[in-house]
């Protein structure tokens, strides 16, 4: 669907305790967590195999035999003897612990591990004389149940109930001999500077650098500018052909005209338009405003003739496919209905209405389309149905146009549209709640870079540290330093 231009929103929030980080992006890093892992003895139970690690959002990591970045699960044998997993199960469904069965001869050496691709392919490949296993399910990036189940189909030796939402290209698991120390909290204290030039070089990344004159705050560092809402009204005194498109395919004999402040669509019998077949019925639509809003609503008033039993209403037309994708309409003089790709999502029965109001709203956060109707202007809106992108045959719209249409399978359809309002809501804050240090005054329209310093102290010998991890989200790029040494770019 339409994507909102966020007007140079910026945010820097790092997930690692570093001496300095240079931001060189229009949108800088947002961190989840930074941590170090140290050795910690832990007693394993019975030596049973366990799920030691998995990756649920594999975008650029391990490839399978088909060259695809499939999800994967690592099974480890902590015991002192080899283990045959034949007859064991992997599942992501708590109600079906026997979802996928390991084939016979799936051996893991003592202290060893194997990788199983959770690809949904349900197959076994011979790769260089070794078996590459694929389950019949995929892992959910937003978290779900996952378990390794014994051959009895009841007892689990390892499970996540559920595992948390995952991060792209980051694996997750249970470190059996480690403990994790968080180095940077989400609300960690930061110092920031928007440089006027490059005179500091990389001196600012040193631990001893004097940042006392810098801005002070907490993560994240950035700013957000929100656009106010507005309404675009079309009274249909005339049809602006620079804004509106009248689409009547070859073979269509319907007409579109302006009459006494109304847009009038006349459709002969048998001329239709659906989500899987453009048909030949008239559709009148306009482009979305620029910048394209993410959240909006459409409202129109419709009057139809008493003998008309077709459909008339609002339409969201996908210019990329040439098809009406979403409609909110009155059909067969009997029901108000919301459709997606020509399939009815939901309806409200109300017969013999000659005049009515329709409303269709878009919520980008929930990825939903919601349809409403009312009969009189002073009535409250009645909700008809809600459609979610990707579900119930609801398409992901690539290039949205919005407007009105009329169609009929049997009788004629005469529909008069008395107005068309496109209401754009106030932009919702995306980064605002995450910003602890606002640098909008210093950064907006002045510079594309910010320096951010996050001090930390490690209260143990560096030799005890086994691994350092930083997780970040960013738009263009960033550079990270620890005590002046670059560790990421």
Residue 6 confidence (pLDDT): 32
Among candidates 242, 234, 238, 324, which has minimal Cα distance to 281? 324
Residue 8 confidence (pLDDT): 37
- Nearest-angstrom CA–CA distance, 465 and 181: 10
- Alpha-helical segments (H) within 181-254: none
- Nearest-angstrom CA–CA distance, 68 and 216: 45
Residues found in the chain: 489
Q: How do the residues of the chain divide into helix, strand and coil, expressed in percent and rounded to 5? A: 5, 45, 50
Task: Tell me the CB-side half-sphere exposure of residue 318, using CA atoms within 13 A.
Answer: 20
Residue 33 confidence (pLDDT): 43
Residue 305 confidence (pLDDT): 83
Q: For 290-314, give the DSSP string.
A: SSPPSSEEEEEEEEE-TT--SEEEE
Contacts of residues 258-262 at CB distance under 8 Å and 24 or more positions apart, as own/partner, are: 259/416, 261/235, 261/236, 261/237, 261/418, 262/236, 262/303, 262/416, 262/417, 262/418
Structure tokens at 245: 């498109």
Among candidates 481, 432, 486, which has minimal Cα distance to 453? 481
Flag whether the pTM goes above 0.85: no
Please state, as a whole number, how many other Cβ atoms lie within 10 Å of the Cβ of residue 475: 15
- Nearest-angstrom CA–CA distance, 50 and 78: 8
Contact at 8 Å (CB) between 31 and 472?
yes
- Nearest-angstrom CA–CA distance, 210 and 200: 12
Residue 434 confidence (pLDDT): 85
Report whether CATH 2.60.40.1260 matches the domain 47-176: yes
238 by Cβ neighbours in 10 Å (0-12 / 13-18 / 19+) ranks as: exposed
Residue 178 confidence (pLDDT): 63
Contact at 8 Å (CB) between 261 and 419?
no
Tens-binned pLDDT, residue by residue, of the chain (489 aa)? 332 333 334 444 443 323 333 332 233 333 334 555 444 333 334 579 999 999 999 998 899 999 999 999 999 999 899 999 999 999 999 999 999 999 999 999 998 999 999 999 999 998 888 899 999 999 999 999 999 999 999 999 999 999 999 989 889 987 665 677 888 888 899 999 999 999 999 999 999 999 999 999 998 888 988 989 999 999 899 888 889 999 999 999 999 999 999 999 999 988 988 767 789 999 999 999 988 899 999 999 999 987 788 999 999 999 999 999 999 999 999 999 999 998 999 999 999 999 999 999 999 989 999 999 999 999 999 999 999 998 878 899 999 999 999 999 888 899 999 999 999 989 888 888 889 999 999 988 888 889 999 998 888 888 878 777 877 766 667 889 999 999 875
Could you check whether 47-176 and 230-424 share the same CATH topology? Answer: no
Residue 36 confidence (pLDDT): 53
3-state secondary structure of 204: helix
Contact at 8 Å (CB) between 140 and 117?
no
Query: What CATH class has 230-424?
Result: mainly beta
- Sorted by where each begins, the domain ranges of the chain are 18-38+183-221+448-488, 47-176, 230-424
Tell me 205's DSSP state: G
Contact at 8 Å (CB) between 14 and 470?
yes
Q: What is the pLDDT of residues 326-344, one digit of tens each?
A: 999 999 999 999 999 989 9
- Nearest-angstrom CA–CA distance, 224 and 29: 14
Residue 42 confidence (pLDDT): 36
Distance of CA 146 to the CA centre of its chain: 23
- Nearest-angstrom CA–CA distance, 291 and 5: 6
Residue 333 confidence (pLDDT): 92
């Amino acid at each position: 669907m339409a994507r909102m231009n966020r007007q140079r929103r910026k945010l820097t929030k790092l997930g690692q305790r570093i001496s300095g980080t240079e931001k060189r992006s229009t949108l800088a890093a947002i961190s989840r967590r930074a941590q170090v892992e140290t050795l910690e003895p832990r007693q394993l139970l019975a030596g049973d195999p366990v799920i030691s690690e998995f990756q649920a959002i594999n975008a650029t990591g391990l490839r399978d035999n088909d060259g695809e970045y499939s999800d994967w699960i690592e099974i480890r044998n902590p015991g002192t003897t080899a283990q045959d997993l034949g007859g064991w199960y992997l599942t992501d469904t708590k109600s079906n612990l026997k979802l996928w069965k390991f084939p016979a001869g799936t051996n893991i050496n003592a202290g060893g591990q194997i990788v199983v691709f959770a690809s949904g392919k349900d197959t076994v490949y011979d790769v260089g004389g070794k078996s590459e296993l694929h389950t019949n399910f995929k892992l959910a990036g937003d978290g779900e149940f996952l378990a390794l189940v014994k051959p009895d189909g009841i007892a689990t030796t390892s499970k996540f109930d559920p595992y948390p939402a995952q991060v792209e290209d980051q694996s997750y698991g249970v470190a059996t001999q480690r403990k994790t120390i968080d180095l940077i909290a989400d609300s960690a204290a930061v110092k920031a500077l928007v440089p006027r030039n490059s005179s500091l070089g990389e001196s600012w990344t040193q631990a001893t650098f004097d940042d006392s004159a810098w801005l002070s705050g907490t993560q994240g560092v950035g700013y957000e500018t929100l656009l106010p809402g507005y309404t675009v009204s079309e009274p249909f005194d005339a049809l602006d052909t620079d804004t509106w498109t009248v689409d009547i395919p070859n073979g269509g004999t319907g007409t579109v005209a302006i009459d006494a402040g109304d847009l009038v669509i006349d459709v002969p019998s048998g001329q239709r338009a659906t989500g899987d077949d453009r048909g030949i019925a008239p559709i009148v639509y306009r482009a979305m405003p620029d910048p394209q809003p993410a959240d909006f609503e459409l409202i129109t008033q419709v009057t139809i003739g008493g003998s008309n039993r077709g459909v008339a209403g609002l339409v969201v037309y996908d210019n990329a496919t040439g098809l009406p994708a979403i409609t909110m309409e009155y059909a067969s003089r009997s029901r108000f209905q919301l459709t997606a790709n020509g399939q009815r999502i939901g309806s409200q029965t109300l017969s013999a209405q000659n005049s009515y109001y329709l409303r269709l709203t878009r919520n980008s956060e929930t990825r939903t389309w919601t349809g409403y109707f009312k009969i009189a202007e002073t009535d409250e809106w009645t909700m008809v149905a809600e459609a979610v992108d990707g579900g119930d045959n609801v398409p992901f719209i690539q290039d949205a146009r919005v407007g009105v249409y009329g169609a009929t399978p049997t009788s004629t359809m005469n529909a008069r549209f008395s107005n068309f309002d496109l209401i754009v809501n106030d932009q919702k804050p995306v980064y605002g709640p995450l910003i602890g240090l606002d640098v909008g005054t210093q950064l907006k329209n002045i510079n594309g870079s910010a320096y951010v310093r996050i001090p930390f102290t490690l209260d143990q010998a560096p030799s005890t540290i086994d691994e350092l991890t930083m997780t970040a989200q960013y738009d263009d790029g960033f550079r990270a330093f620890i005590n002046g040494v670059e560790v990421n770019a």
